[in-house]
């Protein structure tokens, strides 16, 4: 006997099939709505944090201000454009930018990349303003709770123009420049500076090495007692830091200009009550005199003697900063650098 009863249909009802068809789109809409809400919420948080940070800094003598602010970057980034932005600290150092563009990943609003397309104005305590412009000028800022914060500045084809009537700036131009600051353990701070293809306005021994040649420079230092580098102005801050035993340990220092070369192998520096650098560095200077070139400096005379004896024209000696003067061995090479 054959069973002829109709088998029950396995097809889902039409309404169920329709709901499954639209489920991915519904989920996508829910996720997009949630993401959009989250982005705008984070934008509000970023705005509130900036306002709170600005108020907190001003209460402690700093300044973080702007004349206009706009946010963008939806959906994956948080961008902020500031007009007439200014950052300053109590000792007198400040940076102003007509236009400042900032960018952060939406998942990490503590790390910002900043670009100044129209350059910046650097204010030096008791020395005046320097306008810095170039093909590119950008910075990265993070770990703002540390002192110093983690800051990296990079620039290409930069020019440095002091305001009329202010003190000269030691850099005139640079093809490439890097500046990095880092906080460290035991109340230390680190500074690394590098410039290639630079024209300088150095005086004294450094000026004689660089002359009017294109130079390359590296400076790597560590500062102790950095938390004491605070005060009502730059001079007061440096005096407070010096009184606490603040010192600068030179890790690496080099100046290359044509055939001339200056290297500081090691040394520890501080600042005397008059604002002049004090201490000593172990240095090696190299200056190859061209045939027929007149000898104008003690360094050139020593190099010429070495060349005449068939030796490499390298001078190794202690570079001492004492009493406001700079001494290469026993030779007085000019004034010591001043911090204020």
Per-residue pLDDT of the chain in tens (340 residues, 90 and over written 9): 455 555 555 555 555 555 555 556 555 555 555 555 555 666 677 777 778 777 877 877 778 889 998 888 777 777 889 999 998 888 888 999 999 998 887 666 677 889 999 999 999 988 899 999 999 999 998 877 777 888 999 999 999 999 999 999 989 999 999 999 999 899 999 999 999 999 998 877 777 777 788 999 999 999 999 999 887 788 889 999 999 999 999 998 998 888 788 888 789 999 999 999 999 999 888 765 555 555 455 555 555 555 555 555 577 888 899 999 999 888 888 889 888 8
Residue 256 CA to residue 210 CA, distance in Å, equals 7
For 105-145, what is each residue's pLDDT tens digit? 766 667 788 999 999 999 998 889 999 999 999 999 887 77
Residue with tokens 């440096």: 238
β pairing state of 314-322 and 260-271: unpaired
User: What pLDDT score was predicted for residue 269?
Assistant: 95
User: What pLDDT score was predicted for residue 180?
Assistant: 95
User: What pLDDT score was predicted for residue 42?
Assistant: 67
User: What pLDDT score was predicted for residue 1?
Assistant: 46
Rounded to two decimals, what is the model's pTM? 0.74
For 99-115, what is each residue's pLDDT tens digit? 999 888 766 667 788 99
CB 175 within 8 A of CB 216: no
User: What pLDDT score was predicted for residue 312?
Assistant: 58
Q: If residue 262 lies in a helix (H) or strand (E), which one and from where to where?
A: strand 260-271
CA dihedral (275, 155, 222, 187) positive or negative: positive
Residue 195 CA to residue 337 CA, distance in Å, equals 19
Residue 170 CA to residue 203 CA, distance in Å, equals 8
User: What pLDDT score was predicted for residue 71?
Assistant: 85
Query: Please, which residues bridge with residue 276 across strands?
Result: 338
Any idea of the CA torsion for 21, 24, 28, 34, to the nearest 10 degrees?
100
Domain definitions of the chain by residue range: 18-118, 139-340
């Amino acid at each position: 006997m054959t069973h002829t009863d109709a088998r029950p249909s396995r097809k889902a009802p039409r309404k169920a099939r329709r709901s499954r068809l639209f489920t991915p789109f519904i989920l996508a809409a829910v996720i997009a709505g949630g993401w959009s809400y989250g982005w705008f919420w984070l934008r509000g948080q970023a705005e509130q944090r900036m306002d709170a940070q600005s108020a907190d800094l001003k209460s402690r003598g700093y300044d973080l201000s702007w004349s206009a602010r706009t946010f963008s970057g939806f959906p994956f980034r948080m961008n902020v454009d500031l007009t007439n932005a200014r950052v300053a600290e109590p000792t007198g150092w400040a940076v102003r930018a007509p236009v400042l563009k900032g960018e952060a990943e939406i998942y990490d609003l503590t790390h910002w990349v900043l670009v100044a397309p129209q350059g910046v104005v650097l204010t030096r305590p008791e020395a005046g303003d320097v306008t810095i412009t170039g093909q590119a000028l950008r910075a990265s800022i993070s770990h703002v709770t540390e002192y110093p914060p983690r800051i990296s500045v990079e620039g290409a084809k930069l020019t440095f123009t002091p305001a009329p009537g202010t003190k000269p700036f030691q850099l005139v131009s640079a093809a490439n420049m890097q500046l990095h600051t880092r906080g460290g353990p035991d109340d230390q701070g680190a500074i690394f500076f590098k410039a290639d293809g630079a024209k300088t306005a150095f005086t004294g021994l450094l000026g004689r090495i660089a002359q009017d040649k294109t130079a390359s420079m590296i400076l790597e230092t560590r500062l102790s007692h950095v938390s004491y580098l605070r005060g009502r102005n730059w001079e007061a801050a440096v005096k407070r830091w010096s009184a606490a035993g603040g010192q600068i340990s030179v890790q690496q220092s080099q100046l290359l200009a044509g055939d001339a070369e200056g290297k500081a192998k090691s040394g520890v520096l501080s600042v005397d009550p008059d604002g002049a650098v004090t201490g000593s560095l172990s240095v090696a200077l190299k200056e190859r005199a061209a045939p027929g070139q007149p000898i104008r400096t003690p360094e050139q005379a020593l190099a010429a003697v070495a060349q005449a004896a068939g030796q490499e024209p390298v001078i190794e000696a202690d570079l001492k900063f004492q009493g406001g003067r700079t001494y290469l061995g026993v030779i007085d090479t000019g004034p010591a650098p001043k911090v204020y």
